[in-house]
Chains A and B, each alone.
Chain A
Amino acid sequence: MDEEKQMRVIGVPRRRVDARAKVTGQTRFADDIFLPRMAYCKLLRSPHPHARIRKIDTARAAAHPGVYLVLSGKDLPIEYGILPVSQDEQALCVDHVRHVGDPVAAVVAREELTAFEALDLIDVEYELLTTIADPEEALATPAPRIHEYGEAGNIHKRVSLEFGDVEQGFAEADEVFEDTFFYQGSTHLPIEQHAAVAIKDPEGKLTIWSSTQTPHYLHRALAKVLQMPAGHIRVIATPNGGGFGGKSDPFNHEIVVAKAALVLDRPVKICLTREEVFYCHRGRHPVLMKFKTGVKKDGTITGMHLQTLIDGGAYGSYGVASTFYTGALQTTTYHIPRYKFQGCRMFTNKPPCGPKRGHGTVQPRFGQEVQLDKVAEKLSIDPADLRLRIAESSNAVTANFFRLSVVNLAECIRRVVKISDWKDKFRKLPSGRGVGLACSAYLTGAGLPIYWNKMPHSGVHIKFDRGGGVAVFCGATEIGQGSDDVLAGIVAEVLGLETFDIRLYTGDTDLGPVDLGSYSSRVTIMTGNAALQAAERGKAIIAEAVAEKLEIPKERLCFAEKRVFDSAAPEKSVAFAEAVCLAEARFGTIGTMGSYTPPKSPALYKGGGVGPSPTYSYTAAIVEVVVSPATGWISVPKIWIAHDIGRALNPTLVRGQVEGSVYMGLGEALMEEQEFRRLPKKLSRALVHKFPSMLEYKTPTSLDMPEVVTELIEEPDPRGPFGAKEVGQGPLLPIMPAVANAVYDAVGVRIDEVPITPEKIMKALAEKKAGREPRFGPSHFPHVDWPEALRVPPPWEGGDGHAVNDAPRPAKRNAEKEKVLSS
């Protein structure tokens, strides 16, 4: 009714709705909860990377003064896990520990120190097993198996997909490039350690507060393991003190305190130590990659074959999805007419890897963008020009059947080239100084939910109060990214209010409709669209009543500045609160619902569920580095980045997400690594974390952070609320390859490995000096017994999204597919 009106909230840089709580220290994080009679829980964790539990005796601990309860594996034997296909965790290990830090028992005591003390009184007899340090060892060591499920031996998951005849693509190429890359794992390191508090509420039901990004999935896991109806469990996600993917799994400590609270009928709290957070992990998978890419002389790609070998750690976590993600998004940035992907995830005796910002797509993006830099060099094409030639375009369907929406990759490239003076810098800076360019794409929400069903991914309920109060209820989870502000901003904009007028009840499985959580950059588009629908429905009801009162057509009504007025005669108006009263008098109590389900994807082959998204964000970044040839020390004075955001709902927060992503990417590029080592033989040769502490796990400080120049490319995407796309993850992706490419521009050596450390640069410089290949990186990709590839002809070869050699699907699925393809 007032499409043309100027927006007053959306697009305006403003104070986020929860800012006051944060700057006054009033945001209540999970460990800030103190309840009467609250007991404290500590977990006894395995000191061994791989062992059988022969015997566990908790009697002495249970008898210790001040101890209320001791739990062990037999008390919580039911397996759970984030993905339905890998329900492989137990809250407390029953008979098998798989990494240092795997919990085997829990003590609940009156005081935390007492619980800690009693851990020493638990006697566990272990039988040590062979330990597996990395994927190559895992391939060579099929027994003992870390898990009884999986493909074979210690192979968790293998994937093989081919979209068109990739060998034909190489045959048509002028040049074929083969490169191997290694991306070291890293961890999220949110400053807040995970914490949870559980109570048996006065009615006898369970409530748990937890620093979780995914209350809905914790809800499911609790119902399963505790064998309780989900309706009797309330999960409240407290604001997360940083998440970055690290709080997206249901965790053992959450299940343990829930069980303890039910047994003891008193509140039970746990707060992990930093060391324990390192053991929870679920961070970036270390990935070895091999890229084979065919190109024409003009840079056109004729085919790409990507292989990934993935270090999964000790549990499944999101790993099956991560495996697909290592091969999913290559096709979304540049046109690749034929594409083959093979991925293999191995179990190893290390804390489980999972989703970290950019989930599984970060590692191959590094390889792809560095290889493209090599291609540009060989073909004597400027890397920016090369990318502009091959950039994907809006509304394309990729070789692997991902439907793109608005694609502004080319504009991102042009913008960073311009603002960085790229043309005056690339290959022109003095030795030791260089610039590098890289690009990326990322999902704006996963197209499919973790549990496949036809229900919405997000729901929003709005309650309108006679006093003009607007309360928004939604399961969305605030992890610092601003999900509450997305909700408040959209609702305020539609109703002509300010965000301060909106009350939010989020992250609570009892109060709000389900939202799947803060992962895969889904909140803005999914929660946002659900909020938009609920707000528009409320507006329509209110408009109906106001139009009647003012005796004007409702199409003429405008909602702004907390009033509803006649756009043709603004003096004819009612205050928003009065408008709600009119609507309530006319229609009864006013409450509206909105929900969002992503569009169906044309990727109908097995495995096509990972990668589709309603739309993709695009980013281009240029990094300038200074490298000392004497020490290999790298400093980064400046970064320019352009991000295709669709529309910035709150530009202040969008910029914060871009800069935060750049920061985290720079940490991965230069220093962050989750490393392990074997103890000397006399100390058992056990595989242990090299540094499960913040002192040694290095992250960039305020002194390391360069100046970042952020440009937002705003062309509203029809699929986003007010045109918005994601920003929380995409801008991280180009940073690591851009650093690697800049190092090459500075000192002429290729570091095909992350992190890029002075030591590696010095080794590569030594190679260069000796007249050998000026490079540091992996030299081989081990043999993997790949399964026969599912062959899916790409759209331009008449493919319909199915594999031609897969088992036939039921007729119903085919009918559904036709509907999707014709839409």
Chain B
Amino acid sequence: MITITLPTESQKTAHIRLTLNGEATDVSFAPYKTLLEVLREDLGHTGTKHGCELGECGACAVLLEGKPVLSCLLLALECDKKVVLTVEGLAADGKLHPLQDAFADLGAAQCGYCTPAILVTAKALLDQNPKPSREQIREALSGNLCRCTGYQQIFEAVEEAMVRIAGAHNG
């Protein structure tokens, strides 16, 4: 039997510079690693999760240049000079993002495992469309599986955040 020896993690031969949650970040890693692995293992950002290894569950979603991407399907090498936002970057100035507050208040997080990815995906939606309809929210979150909530409280939390964000802007 021929055994192919793959590069190991200790061979951190790849290097990128990205803006992670607003911070210029340099990181070296083994070249085969996905953005998900680099975030969790090399950058200590464990808020982003994994669930299926093939881009189906959506638990690994992060924002790349403001758009949701599945970090388990993206090589970290592709993220050089890019802007990445994870759940750790949602709160600002010591205050939770309105989405985080609304999710907490309205029971949109049960086990909390899919929550980080749903939060950033919802943020991308609200950034692009400040007043989405229920149907647009359903559509935007259709790539994020949640096994706990039945989604309803998630939809309501996104709508509540939408109202709170609009209120903050108007106030």
**Is A660 touching B110 in the complex (CB atoms < 8 A)?**
yes
A274 partner, pick from B41, B52, B113, B152, beta carbons under 8 A: B52
Q: Pick out which of these stretches binds chain A: B63-71, B82-90, B162-170.
A: B82-90
Complex Cα–Cα for A90 and B10 (A): 34
**Is B104 touching A22 in the complex (CB atoms < 8 A)?**
yes
A702 partner, pick from B41, B104, B144, beta carbons under 8 A: B144
Contact A662 to B104, CB < 8 A, known contacts A23-B109, A274-B53, A480-B112: no
Interface range for B: 35 or more
Kindly list chain B residues whose C-beta atoms are within 8 Å of the C-beta of A660. Answer: 110, 147-150
Say whether chain B's binding surface is mostly helix, strand, loop, or mixed.
Answer: loop
Kindly list chain A residues whose C-beta atoms are within 8 Å of the C-beta of B144. Answer: 702
**Is B96 touching A20 in the complex (CB atoms < 8 A)?**
yes
Say whether chain A's binding surface is mostly helix, strand, loop, or mixed.
Answer: loop
- A-contact bits for B93-126, CB 8 A (1 contact / 0 none): 0001001110111110111111110010000000
Asked if A34 lies at the interface with its beta carbon under 8 angstroms from chain B, I say yes
Kindly list chain A residues whose C-beta atoms are within 8 Å of the C-beta of B5. Answer: 117
A662 partner, pick from B44, B46, B150, beta carbons under 8 A: B150
**Is A190 touching B111 in the complex (CB atoms < 8 A)?**
yes
Asked if B81 lies at the interface with its beta carbon under 8 angstroms from chain A, I say no
Residue of B nearest to A16 (CB): B107
A23 partner, pick from B103, B139, B150, beta carbons under 8 A: B103
**Is B119 touching A23 in the complex (CB atoms < 8 A)?**
yes
**What is the CB-to-nearest-CB distance from A30 to chain B, in angstroms, rounded to a whole number?**
11
Asked if B48 lies at the interface with its beta carbon under 8 angstroms from chain A, I say yes
Asked if B18 lies at the interface with its beta carbon under 8 angstroms from chain A, I say no
**Is B142 touching A703 in the complex (CB atoms < 8 A)?**
yes
Q: Which of B1-30 contact A (CB under 8 A)?
A: 1, 3, 5-6, 8-10
**Is A695 touching B54 in the complex (CB atoms < 8 A)?**
yes
Asked if A567 lies at the interface with its beta carbon under 8 angstroms from chain B, I say no
Most buried by B among A22, A190, A240, A479: A22
Complex Cα–Cα for A113 and B59 (A): 22
**Is A664 touching B147 in the complex (CB atoms < 8 A)?**
yes
Kindly list chain A residues whose C-beta atoms are within 8 Å of the C-beta of B101. Answer: 23
Asked if A244 lies at the interface with its beta carbon under 8 angstroms from chain B, I say yes
Contact A25 to B139, CB < 8 A, known contacts A66-B8, A694-B54, A702-B144: no
Most buried by A among B112, B115, B146, B149: B112
**Is B142 touching A26 in the complex (CB atoms < 8 A)?**
no
Asked if A193 lies at the interface with its beta carbon under 8 angstroms from chain B, I say yes
Kindly list chain B residues whose C-beta atoms are within 8 Å of the C-beta of A26. Answer: 47
**Is A694 touching B56 in the complex (CB atoms < 8 A)?**
yes
**What is the CB-to-nearest-CB distance from A250 to chain B, in angstroms, rounded to a whole number?**
21
**Is B49 touching A703 in the complex (CB atoms < 8 A)?**
no
**What is the CB-to-nearest-CB distance from B130 to chain A, in angstroms, rounded to a whole number?**
20
Complex Cα–Cα for A15 and B116 (A): 17
**Is A274 touching B51 in the complex (CB atoms < 8 A)?**
yes
- B-contact bits for A187-207, CB 8 A (1 contact / 0 none): 011111100000000000000
Kindly list chain A residues whose C-beta atoms are within 8 Å of the C-beta of B146. Answer: 191, 702
A241 partner, pick from B88, B100, B112, beta carbons under 8 A: B112
Contact A656 to B149, CB < 8 A, known contacts A15-B104, A20-B96, A693-B52: yes
Residue of A nearest to B100 (CB): A23
**Is B109 touching A190 in the complex (CB atoms < 8 A)?**
no
**What is the CB-to-nearest-CB distance from B99 to chain A, in angstroms, rounded to a whole number?**
8
Residue total for A at the interface (Cβ-Cβ under 8 A): 64
**Is B53 touching A27 in the complex (CB atoms < 8 A)?**
no
B91 partner, pick from A24, A274, A661, beta carbons under 8 A: A24
Most buried by B among A31, A242, A655: A242
**Is A34 touching B111 in the complex (CB atoms < 8 A)?**
no
**Is A708 touching B150 in the complex (CB atoms < 8 A)?**
yes
Complex Cα–Cα for A113 and B64 (A): 27
**Is B152 touching A111 in the complex (CB atoms < 8 A)?**
no
Asked if A154 lies at the interface with its beta carbon under 8 angstroms from chain B, I say no
Complex Cα–Cα for A750 and B41 (A): 52
Asked if B141 lies at the interface with its beta carbon under 8 angstroms from chain A, I say yes
**Is A480 touching B110 in the complex (CB atoms < 8 A)?**
yes
Q: Which of A647-675 contact B (CB under 8 A)?
A: 652-653, 655-656, 659-664
Asked if A701 lies at the interface with its beta carbon under 8 angstroms from chain B, I say yes
Residue of B nearest to A25 (CB): B47
Interface residues of A (CB under 8 A from B): 15-16, 18-29, 31-32, 34, 66, 110-114, 117, 120-121, 188-193, 239-244, 273-274, 479-482, 652-653, 655-656, 659-664, 693-695, 699, 701-703, 705, 707-708
15 cross-chain CB contacts under 8 A: A21-B112, A24-B91, A25-B87, A28-B46, A32-B46, A34-B46, A120-B3, A191-B113, A242-B147, A655-B107, A655-B153, A659-B150, A660-B110, A695-B52, A708-B150
